[in-house]
Chains A and B, each alone.
Chain A
């Protein structure tokens, strides 16, 4: 297969940047993972706070690169027309890469702001807004000029629009910490449990239509239902972050009910992908891409849905809030929902852009299982750490640092599975950067 529209190729640099930054993210993950066991590692050159800041900021940046690349790849096929401006797409690619790299290097020299995940200095935040606006403009013009408007393209567009709008709350820094935290969640929660889910569901629908050959009418009905469930549960579900930060107690009731059903959109994505794949009209030759696609639905259900649900009720969250339980959930949720969907898009799109047959299928399938099982085991190791931490610190009232000394074994397990994850990643990147040379026979 080859790509049908010339301008789809502009997605290529986006995927390359995403993969490089992904590798760097995992490297910094290993650094902070080692520091949990040997705190003097790289100290004080890279103290834990800087390493963790880089680990998570790289995650967000590479995922957004992946989302944008995915959008540029699928839009021409969806709307049946070329990208409005390839030059603009390349311009904001470089702007984003330079801005992102400046921020990450700046962190190493203590040039940062100080709110969790939003550590980007103000000027970098402004640059991010400019980049996203350029992207949204390009996307909007492409959709308007295209020959048709599909549900997938419109949902994707709304997802990115929401991403831009809610990021604006990153500029609001009141003196009252409770107010600060309240709207900080409008960026963080309404991104990852709101508009990002739209982007994920749109990419999932696109992939399922392509790899199963099933009519898009069916897929888009599912997509709308998933979007509906996301907003119905996720917006008021923000309340599960408002239990203990100085906000009113009524959030415990509302947050509990709505976040308990936040698992529904993820369950729907699992049902959607299994029903599509089981009714498939053809067997797609790119088996690795099929695996990543179904894997995204299943792993996001486990990480975001099940692990999230486990400690979302206030009666449980009272004890687990701010422990390793959150880290456990965070790792599998971000990997399962967002990393895997971008890897699925890359596995599907990049061979088409290169005009080669998807090669190294066995290697890539090995990478999928190695990375995914490793991440599940990382999450389970941290769940173990979390359970012991809750018992010692929250029930027996043993001081924090003493508690930590009893759970080193779980951090060692986490680091071990971090190492096996890295093996899977290396295999994936080998397949990505050094593909086989078999040419595609015919465009389709």
Chain B
């Protein structure tokens, strides 16, 4: 094979896989409201996501398995611990942090922030993740 024919094959293959990939992206986008209940993203959920980002929670925790593996998975935390417990953790974190060995730092969380995070976690817990994680411990 000449260099030119290899190059043309490369261009052809790239175009084909890109078209397939974009079509699957379209299908994924179309399934979004059904799989993630996007109509349930209230202002509180959106605010919670912003609080989540403001404190870079992802750089210790994981969320649907993505993140830093230094602290527990939080995608299903409401189902694992229950609302009351999670709320106590957040309220304590706002005053003095949380934990005994690996510690969560103290974060300046307002009542609105805590409420937003709670709604955000509740919404995350309802996403159809193809039955991941394998058990409730995440």
Where the two chains meet, the residues of A that have a C-beta atom closer than 8 Å to any C-beta of B are 35-36, 39-40, 43-44, 47-50, 52-53, 112-116, 119, 151, 173, 175-182, 217, 220-221, 224-225, 227-228, 231-232, 235-236, 238-239, 242-252, 254, 318-319, 321-324, 326-327, 393-395, 397-401, 404-405
Known A49-B59, A116-B59, A231-B14; contact A242-B103, beta-carbon cutoff 8 A: no
> Among the interface residues A112, A176, A238, which one has the most CB atoms of the partner chain B within 10 A?
A176
Known A49-B56, A322-B67; contact A246-B24, beta-carbon cutoff 8 A: no
Chain B residues, CB < 8 A from A220: 3
Q: A53, B56: Cβ atoms under 8 Å?
A: yes
Q: B59, A228: Cβ atoms under 8 Å?
A: no
Known A228-B9, A232-B13, A235-B17; contact A176-B56, beta-carbon cutoff 8 A: no
Chain A residues, CB < 8 A from B55: 49, 114
Known A53-B59, A114-B57, A116-B58; contact A321-B132, beta-carbon cutoff 8 A: yes
- For the complex of A and B, 10 pairs with smallest distance between CB atoms: A114-B53, A322-B65, A49-B59, A228-B10, A244-B132, A400-B72, A175-B46, A246-B127, A321-B65, A231-B14
Q: Mark B4-42, 1 if CB is under 8 A from A, else 0.
A: 001101100110011011001101110110011010010
Chain A residues, CB < 8 A from B13: 228, 231-232
Known A236-B20, A244-B65; contact A393-B137, beta-carbon cutoff 8 A: yes
Q: Mark B98-138, 1 if CB is under 8 A from A, else 0.
A: 00011101100000000000000000100111101111111
In angstroms, Cα B134 to Cα A36, docked, is 25
B87 at the interface (CB under 8 A from A): no
Known A43-B103, A251-B24; contact A401-B127, beta-carbon cutoff 8 A: no
Known A114-B58, A254-B24; contact A178-B36, beta-carbon cutoff 8 A: yes
Q: Which of B59, B127, B130, B138 contacts A178 (CB 8 A)?
A: B127
Known A224-B7, A225-B6; contact A176-B59, beta-carbon cutoff 8 A: no
Query: Shortest distance in angstroms between B116's beta carbon and chain A's nearest beta carbon?
Result: 11
Q: B63, A394: Cβ atoms under 8 Å?
A: no
Q: A326, B101: Cβ atoms under 8 Å?
A: no
24 interchain pairs, CB-CB under 8 A: A36-B70, A47-B103, A48-B60, A49-B57, A114-B54, A114-B55, A114-B56, A114-B57, A114-B58, A151-B3, A176-B36, A177-B36, A177-B127, A232-B14, A235-B21, A244-B129, A245-B64, A247-B31, A248-B31, A318-B132, A326-B69, A394-B134, A394-B135, A399-B72
Q: Which of A227, A252, A399 contacts B130 (CB 8 A)?
A: A252
Chain A residues, CB < 8 A from B70: 35-36, 48-49, 52
Chain A residues, CB < 8 A from B27: 248, 250
Q: A224, B6: Cβ atoms under 8 Å?
A: yes
Looking at chain A's contact residues, is the secondary structure mostly helix, strand, loop, or mixed? helix
B83 at the interface (CB under 8 A from A): no
Where the two chains meet, the residues of B that have a C-beta atom closer than 8 Å to any C-beta of A are 1, 3, 6-7, 9-10, 13-14, 17-18, 20-21, 24-25, 27-29, 31-32, 35-36, 38, 41, 45-46, 49, 52-60, 62-73, 97, 101-103, 105-106, 124, 127-130, 132-138
Known A49-B59, A221-B3; contact A322-B69, beta-carbon cutoff 8 A: yes
Q: B59, A224: Cβ atoms under 8 Å?
A: no
Known A115-B58, A224-B6, A401-B72; contact A177-B63, beta-carbon cutoff 8 A: yes
What residue in chain A is nearest B106 (Cβ atoms)? Answer: A44
Known A50-B56, A53-B59, A119-B56; contact A227-B10, beta-carbon cutoff 8 A: yes
Chain A residues, CB < 8 A from B64: 177, 181, 244-246, 322
Query: Shortest distance in angstroms between B13's beta carbon and chain A's nearest beta carbon?
Result: 5
Q: B102, A39: Cβ atoms under 8 Å?
A: yes
What residue in chain A is nearest B124 (Cβ atoms)? Answer: A177
In angstroms, Cα B28 to Cα A178, docked, is 10
Q: B101, A401: Cβ atoms under 8 Å?
A: yes
Q: B59, A119: Cβ atoms under 8 Å?
A: yes
Q: B10, A318: Cβ atoms under 8 Å?
A: no
Q: Which of B67, B71, B97, B134 contacts A319 (CB 8 A)?
A: B134
Chain A residues, CB < 8 A from B68: 48-49, 52, 116
Q: B129, A246: Cβ atoms under 8 Å?
A: yes
What residue in chain A is nearest B120 (Cβ atoms)? Answer: A177
What residue in chain A is nearest B53 (Cβ atoms)? Answer: A114
Known A113-B53, A224-B6; contact A246-B17, beta-carbon cutoff 8 A: no
